Amino acid sequence: MANLHNLLNDIPFENLPPAWTTFDLASFSRAKSLWEYQQSALQNALKALHKYYKDDVAASDSEAVSSHKEKVPEQGIASPSARNDMLKQRFFQWYADNGIELDPIMIPPKKRDLLSLLSPYYAITNYQFPFFNIINRMGFWMATGSGKTLVIVKMLELLYTLMQRGEIPARDVMVLTHREDLLKQLRDHVNDFNAAGKTPHIQLRELKEYPEVKRGASRMFGSQELTVFYYRSDNLSDEQKERIVDFHNYENNGNWYLLLDEAHKGDKEDSKRQHIYNILSRNGFLFNFSATFTDPRDIKTTAAEFNLASFIEKGYGKHISLLKQENRAFKDKEDFSNEEKQRIVLQSLLTLAYIAKSREQLCDATSAPLFYRPLLLALVNSVNTDEADLKLFFRELERIGRGEISSQAFSAAKSALKAELESEPEWLYEGKTFALDQSLLNSLTLKDVYKYIFNAESKGELEILVRPSNDKELAFKLKTSAAPFALIKIGQTTEWLKDFLAGYEIVKGFEDESFFSRLNEEDSEINLLMGSRSFYEGWDSNRPNVITFINIGTGSEARKFVLQSVGRGVRIEPLKGKRKRLENLHNAKEVDDFLFQQAKPFLSAVQSLFIFGTKREALATIFEGLADEKEKEAGVELALDVNASALASYPVLIPVYRKLDGSLLVEQREPRKFEIQPNESQLRLWCIKGLTKKGVTV
């Protein structure tokens, strides 16, 4: 669908005035620079802000807007409220002029609390108000792992500079996100930015400190400092509790530049929190960052589109292969034997072993530490019930580790995997296919599974590694190995240790560092990460090459979870600091030809992310949704079949035109009758029948 992103792409960035283009969009810190797509997102943000605040504004009001002085209405100078309405109406009309329809905001009649919340701020008629009231917004639809937080911090720099230059009104700035780990990520990136000595120095303050900060400074923005308030978005409401804050205390007459980091949860009509964000920024601007926009209004107001499909197409992520093999043996109410469950687990382990062995051969051939040790990510729907998905998966993993596996089961799993990979499965969004190294796959043995998955030379009993200071992680190793191979990360492991794992040998370690936090370190031995939705967000890694979804992706709520978790596995880093696929780096002359040619035979394996699901069709629908958005944006070329027999049997009718004789047909009192020859009538009937058979309504 058409969106703000399409409109902004038609505006050349260099055509903006110098005050809007003289930014160093690439630099961030001593160690980090922004990628081209991140800079493009910022350019679109600047174009949208210029369009909203400056473009085509009448001279008197343009001067009033740029002066940022709250003047009493006089002699043609609009009041702040009237000026904001004027800006919104113009921006909304721009959308409409370009064929982008934005429906009114509807308030469900039964939601009286929403009606009372919104009535003081909007003119509501028949339980609705026009969308232009909240048109002062833009979205950043950016794939998981694409560096949204860097763009957010850089956006703070741009807002500060534009305010200092008098190009946009001076407003307070706030960042909201919905989890502590995301707030920590924000703080870490801000510290990184500040350490480079850049201007402004960003001072983060918790929202609760807002009254104190406002009282303590006569001027909000110092010449070299920008104060940015932050808070948990899920702790914002219209009532005051211990951690919940009443937004009315920080409403600030709607004068906020508000940046949301994955804080758009909730249906747009029913979610009170979504309306609170709009109220807070009604006289400022709302910047919405997410990897998974699903609401049409979020998509239509997206200024920067770099979702998962775009991320892959531009070479920033692994190829994605959605395999046909399904995890149906783990599906509720379906009768499958333990051997069938084991075969499914074996297929994912064999896939990882294939990639690990390929990567080992790659490093031997190039004598270079390319890529990373691959990882299998097992994501389940249930954790602590009697027949929880995670427990069922773990049982089969344990049986394989102990050697309770028949040669027939191993051969069946290997044959099924080989049959699929030999068919050259297509990579999503690219129109290219995976190339199998048959000799490598044929060479895989059970011993390779123990080596590349279990870090062991042979089968063995399981040991559990725990750290008393961390009750969210359990690591596992075979007694025949010196290193752990698997990690479970869930909300709470106490029940597992007490009931499900009773009787196992437990080894306690007292190191403070968690296995999970070290997952990306070169010496991390973990090859298999198991967990649930508790870590779909808030972490990233270059290591996953295999993801197996067990009973996830079968419901309508799965879209966001699947896309975010796949985003965790799609990141790629062939060389330290180089986050594009190797062929893209080679084309950009960042990798020499000799190294590329040596690595080329192994790239299909090490640069792919293989996905297993309980119901492939459900996952395919999710991924196709992103492809559909791309097609709507670019248009689709239709391939039509030519009916050769029809061409031989019937003449092709070619229209003949003549000049109008002076009067329009519509002006004639009686419409002319058009005669048609009998043979042409028969041809017309034949065409109609043919189209009807093709499913075309005539």
For the stretch 189-215, pLDDT in tens is: 999 999 998 899 999 999 999 998 888
Confidence of residue 388 (pLDDT cuts 50, 70, 90): confident
Spatial CA neighbour of 293 closest among 481, 473, 148, 438? 148
Spatial CA neighbour of 376 closest among 215, 486, 501? 486
Burial of 171 (0-12, 13-18, 19+ CB in 10 A): buried
Cβ partners under 8 Å of residue 463, min gap 6: 476, 477, 478, 479, 504, 505, 506, 507
CA 462 to chain centre: 37
Sheet holding 256-261, edge to edge: 201-206, 225-232, 172-177, 256-261, 285-290, 137-142, 302-306
Whole-number Å distance between alpha carbons of 297 and 299: 5
Cβ partners under 8 Å of residue 151, min gap 6: 34, 38, 41, 42, 140, 142, 289
pLDDT > 60? residue 639 = no
Q: What's the average model confidence in pLDDT over 278-283?
A: 95
What is the per-residue pLDDT for 443? 96
What is the per-residue pLDDT for 495? 77
Q: Which regions of the chain carry the CATH code 3.40.50.300?
A: 4-306
**How much of the chain exceeds pLDDT 70, in percent?**
79
What is the per-residue pLDDT for 553? 60
Q: What's the average model confidence in pLDDT over 81-85?
A: 84
pLDDT > 80? residue 564 = no
**How much of the chain exceeds pLDDT 90, in percent?**
44
556 vs 87: which has the higher pLDDT: 87
What is the per-residue pLDDT for 568? 74
Q: Which CATH number fits domain 4-306: 3.40.50.2300, 3.40.630.10, 1.10.3720.10, 3.40.50.300?
A: 3.40.50.300
pLDDT > 60? residue 221 = no
Cβ partners under 8 Å of residue 241, min gap 6: none
What is the per-residue pLDDT for 479? 94
DSSP code for 288 = E
pLDDT > 70? residue 604 = yes
pLDDT > 70? residue 675 = no
What is the per-residue pLDDT for 94? 94
16-20, 341-345, 511-515: range with highest mean pLDDT: 16-20
In this predicted model, what pLDDT tens digit does every residue of 415-470 receive, in sequence order? Answer: 999 999 999 888 988 888 999 999 999 999 999 999 999 999 999 999 998 888 78
What is the per-residue pLDDT for 232? 92
In this predicted model, what pLDDT tens digit does every residue of 101-124 receive, in sequence order? Answer: 999 999 888 888 889 999 999 999
Spatial CA neighbour of 504 closest among 475, 474, 461, 460? 461
What is the per-residue pLDDT for 680? 60
How many CB atoms lie under 10 A from the CB of residue 177?
25
Q: Across the chain, what does the average pLDDT equal?
A: 82
What is the per-residue pLDDT for 491? 74
pLDDT > 60? residue 613 = yes
